[in-house]
Amino acid sequence: MSNVFACPTVAGAPSLPDFVIAFQPIVDVCARRVVAYEALTRTMDGACYPKLIDGMDEKTLRRFDREIAIEAIRRAVELGLKDLDVSLCLNLRPDLHPEALDAEYLRLAAGTCGLSPSEILLEMTEEHKLAVPELHSLLERNQAAGFYTGVDDFGAGYSGLAMLVECRPEILKLDRSLVRGIDSSDRRQKIVAAFAQIAESMKTSLIAEGVETVAEYEKLRELGIRFMQGYLFASPSVEELPWQAVWGVMPPTEAKRRAGRGAIAGWLAAAADFDCGSQAGVPA
């Protein structure tokens, strides 16, 4: 599949660095199924996004971020995302000019690859400073184009709850600093419990990322977190859309056969119906 939406080369413009897209699953630990894959940008030798953009000027960065988003869509489809009842999560940098990842441009690019906006979650990173009204405008534009919206690294940035009140994203992803060692940190537990209550009251799904140990998993379940992501379940992969049979987590093809719900809509419905207290322990 050719990348017809690739950014054109401009005379005199710096060349963009080579990169690959890795995918890591987000798991519904109650239903024991993969519900989404986050697209992660890596250097050819496996380093993360910050290394790729080190020293890059803003104009080039805008062009590069658009190229990343289009390649992530293309690669996900190439690996079989369309055949699964899962969604694709793409990261946005809200501090960049809106044209860097224009919602209509992304909608057309997704359509060219056979995906609808309702199958894509656009994650805005809270750590990049942008005034709440501007964040609100960006989120509304993305929602109007049919995309689901989320806030990545929630709890790490400066805007916090003010952003949540004004922007009303469908998904919140807890910053990994709140997840790391939560089993032994009373403060982290209280903060995450409070965020879980707020998210539930606002009908927003909460994801814990960076889950690496069984102890962290068990404490998060105890605190009412249903959706998780991290090395405990699967490492990011550039070769496939990974899933891992940890504690009986089903591959997405099997989950689709059993569930029959549509991607993110089913994901949100599951969050609204969240009650797996009887499964409080590690799944067998």
Indicate which CATH number applies to the domain containing 147.
Answer: 3.20.20.450
Backbone angles phi, psi at 25, to 5 degrees: -75, 150
**What integer pLDDT is reported at residue 31 of this predicted model?**
85
Q: Would you tell me the crossing angle of helices 103-112 and 58-78 to the nearest 10 degrees?
A: 30
Residue 152's pLDDT band (cuts 50, 70, 90): confident
pTM of the model: 0.81
**What integer pLDDT is reported at residue 17 of this predicted model?**
66
**What integer pLDDT is reported at residue 76 of this predicted model?**
94
Question: Which residues span the domain enclosing 52?
Answer: 20-159+231-265
Place of tokens 């199924």: 33
Parallel/antiparallel/unpaired status of strands 120-125 and 87-92: parallel
Q: Say if 181 falls within a structural domain.
A: no
Q: Say if 178 falls within a structural domain.
A: no
Q: Say if 99 falls within a structural domain.
A: yes
Tell me how many domains the chain contains: 1
- Whether residue 57 has pLDDT greater than 70: yes
**What integer pLDDT is reported at residue 259 of this predicted model?**
45
| Average pLDDT value over all residues in the chain | 78
Beta partners for 207? 173, 227
Q: Compare 67 and 129 and report the one with higher pLDDT.
A: 67
